[in-house]
Structure 1
């Protein structure tokens, strides 16, 4: 499955959420990560994110069957491409 993770968390937790997300996904833009995950990896990612966020934070996961189901158009500079190894 292809997962896009978008988060809006308190500034004191931004680095921690990013750190957890980068263990599984590629950082592509401020507060946005994406990449291919197995169902088990996705479950672990969600469990780890739950441990570092608070009820006032928001993390969204957009789940698609694969990268072919997603069309991405970028205006401006792209920070990373999901195929790159970080």
Structure 2
């Protein structure tokens, strides 16, 4: 299991589909940003689903995997989005 942060920049017509996929696997923490603990199999399934939706020549998805979650700190300035349970 690893802790992942996934960000995306996709065409407007694909944003809702990408968001719906990511909501099934991770916590939505900010527009275009998801994070949480995820197993290798679920991450592979999530990425497979995303690849079927995006256009690789126009869209981008960034996946940050944190193997040692204890070495990371998270600072929030302003309003924290509700419903976030898996925090760094």
**TM-score normalised according to structure 2 size:** 0.88
After the TM superposition, which parts of structure 1 deviate over 3 Å for at least 4 consecutive aligned residues?
Answer: none
Partner of 1:58: 60
**CA drift at 1:44:** 0.6
Asked whether the 8 Å contact 1:27–1:80 carries over to 2, the reply is: no
**CA drift at 1:81:** 5.3
Asked whether the 8 Å contact 1:25–1:35 carries over to 2, the reply is: yes
Asked whether the 8 Å contact 1:8–1:58 carries over to 2, the reply is: yes
Partner of 2:79: 77
Which ranges in structure 2 are unaligned for 5 or more consecutive residues? none
Partner of 1:41: 42
Give distance in 1, aligned partners of 2:68 and 2:27.
15
**CA drift at 1:79:** 1.1
Which ranges in structure 1 are unaligned for 5 or more consecutive residues? none
**TM-score normalised according to structure 1 size:** 0.90
| Matched position secondary structure for 2:78 | coil
**CA drift at 1:66:** 4.6
Q: What do you get for the CA RMSD once the two structures are aligned?
A: 1.4
